Amino acid sequence: MDFELWWLLSLPLFFGLGWLAARIDIKHLVHESRSLPRSYLLGLNFLLNEQPDKAIDSFLEAVQIDPQTVELHFALGSLFRRRGELDRAIRIHQSLVDREDLSPEQRLQALAELGEDYLKAGLLDRAENVYLGLRGTARSEAANDALLEIYQQEKNWPRAIEIARDMPRRGSHRWEIDIANFYCEIAATALAHSEFDEAHRQIALALESNRKCVRASLLLGEVLVAQGKDAEAVAAWQEIGLQDPTYLSLVAERLMDAQRRLGQEEKGAQFLRTHLGQTPSLDLLEIVFKWEIEKQGPEAAYALVRDELKRNPTMLGLEKLLEAAIHTVDGERKGDVELVKGLIHGHTRRVARYCCKDCGFKARQFYWRCPACGGWETYPPKRTEEFDLAV
């Protein structure tokens, strides 16, 4: 009984303490809100109402009233950058960098924001200087990402290789693929200037970085052809069949040209037919189909496409079948087949594209680096239709 009476007497005390604590918090909140410039609160209200122009004007007024509001400066800089007013964003963030009262973390943030401003504005040299200064800090990883993008835009492949070697592994991404492509870019430039020894050296470095670098084998074949070494070029291109046979379609026509110069055209066609049977490819079918219809005749080409269509049914394959059929019929039937082929062609134009497996960007031509997301070797050498079938 005594315990229950004590409990009842303590309830008003607990209630009073709670009321007092609430009053203290409310007074603190009111004090803090009154210390803020009115224009700052107006700016927040404009932001909530999706009126960025008025919000910026209010924030600018607040900054003039209280220049010590660091976070407000960051908010203003971000707003300017999103609106494309990069010169104003740069001035905001540069003013923060020049201040001496920032904490170390705030200074790093200001530098990172300034670097992004420069990058967005295309001032790559200034952005590079900022991000180089951020290496070795808490923002080193983001700085390396930005530097890698800068060097790729500038085509400064040696520096890109240097940065990529320092990048940490991220999930399934392999930096070896990127590095091998950087070496291939250098090799392609050397080949364009007929610097064959340098091209060979860079290709060797690419293959050292990634033994399965198809692009390196493709370039090696091109260098050897330029040196008049067709037999060695064919061997280099056939190596792609071991690295990744889906890429053979990219060199099939050049391989056939080299075999033709060697007087071994049938041998080249047999090599491609074998891989077509093992790894279906619409682009590879196109090359073999051309050879069949020119050398073996329409009937052989028709049989080739018919068998391929049974194994890998696609609209693009059907178009090739109709193309072969046109040569095997005459009279009114030929006109009917041509009509159907024309209707099919209108559809196949939409599915005869390459598709990035990372971002889904589609293009009519093959890219080693996706123009949209910047990924290397993210374009499987397959048309959209067969890519969708594989998925």
Q: Which residue has the higher pLDDT, 234 or 314?
A: 234
d(CA 159, CA 124): 14
Q: What is the pTM of this model?
A: 0.76
Q: How far apart are the first and last CA of the chain?
A: 75
User: Is 359 annotated to bind ligand?
Assistant: yes
Q: Which residue has the higher pLDDT, 254 or 62?
A: 254
CB burial class (10 A; 0-12, 13-18, 19+) of residue 233? Answer: buried
What string of H, E and C letters represents the secondary structure of the chain? CHHHHHHHHHHHHHHHHHHHHHHHHHHHHHHHHHHCCHHHHHHHHHHHCCCHHHHHHHHHHHHHHCCCCHHHHHHHHHHHHHCCCHHHHHHHHHHHHHCCCCCHHHHHHHHHHHHHHHHHHCCHHHHHHHHHHHCCCCCHHHHHHHHHHHHHHHCCHHHHHHHHHCCCCECCECHHHHHHHHHHHHHHHHHHCCCHHHHHHHHHHHHHHCCCCHHHHHHHHHHHHHCCCHHHHHHHHHCHHHHCHHHHHHCHHHHHHHHHHCCCHHHHHHHHHHHHHHCCCHHHHHHHHHHHHHHHCHHHHHHHHHHHHHHCCCHHHHHHHHHHHHCCCCCHHHHHHHHHHHHHHHHHHHHCCEECCCCCCEECCCCCECCCCCCECCCCCCEHHHHHHHC
pLDDT at 269: 87
Choice among 81-90, 228-237, 240-249, 343-352 with the minimum mean pLDDT: 343-352
Mean pLDDT of the region 23-27: 42
**Residue 68 pLDDT greater than 90, yes or no:** no
Q: Which residue has the higher pLDDT, 48 or 184?
A: 184
pLDDT, one tens digit per residue, over 113-134 is 999 999 999 999 999 999 999 9
pLDDT at 142: 92
**Contact between residue 100 and residue 128 where contact means Cβ atoms under 8 Å apart:** no
User: Which residues, including other chains, have CB under 8 Å from residue 242's CB and lie 6 or more apart?
Assistant: none
pLDDT at 308: 78
**Residue 376 pLDDT greater than 80, yes or no:** yes
How many CA atoms are closer than 13 Å to the CA of 308, on its beta-carbon side?
A: 31
**Residue 384 pLDDT greater than 90, yes or no:** no
Return the top range by mean pLDDT from 105-109, 211-215, 376-380.
Answer: 211-215
Q: Which residue has the higher pLDDT, 164 or 341?
A: 164
**Residue 35 pLDDT greater than 60, yes or no:** no
- Using left for φ > 0, alpha for ψ between -120 and 50, and beta otherwise, residue 50 falls in left
**Residue 373 pLDDT greater than 60, yes or no:** yes
**Contact between residue 134 and residue 142 where contact means Cβ atoms under 8 Å apart:** yes
Closest CA to 203 of 236, 242, 250: 236
Integer-rounded Cα Rg, in Å, for the chain is 33
Q: Which tokens go with 153?
A: 């835009």
pLDDT at 322: 74
Return the top range by mean pLDDT from 102-116, 159-173, 312-326, 346-360.
Answer: 102-116
State the pLDDT confidence band at 30, using cuts at 50, 70 and 90.
very low
pLDDT, one tens digit per residue, over 168-224 is 877 667 899 999 999 999 999 999 999 999 999 999 999 999 999 999 999 999 999
Choice among 89-93, 306-310, 368-372 with the minimum mean pLDDT: 306-310
Return the top range by mean pLDDT from 29-33, 71-75, 93-97, 193-197.
Answer: 193-197
User: Is 373 annotated to bind ligand?
Assistant: yes
Domains in the chain: boundaries: 353-391
pLDDT at 56: 55
State the pLDDT confidence band at 388, using cuts at 50, 70 and 90.
low
**Residue 31 pLDDT greater than 60, yes or no:** no
pLDDT, one tens digit per residue, over 284-322 is 888 888 888 888 887 887 787 788 777 777 777 777 777
* Average pLDDT of the chain, as a whole number: 79
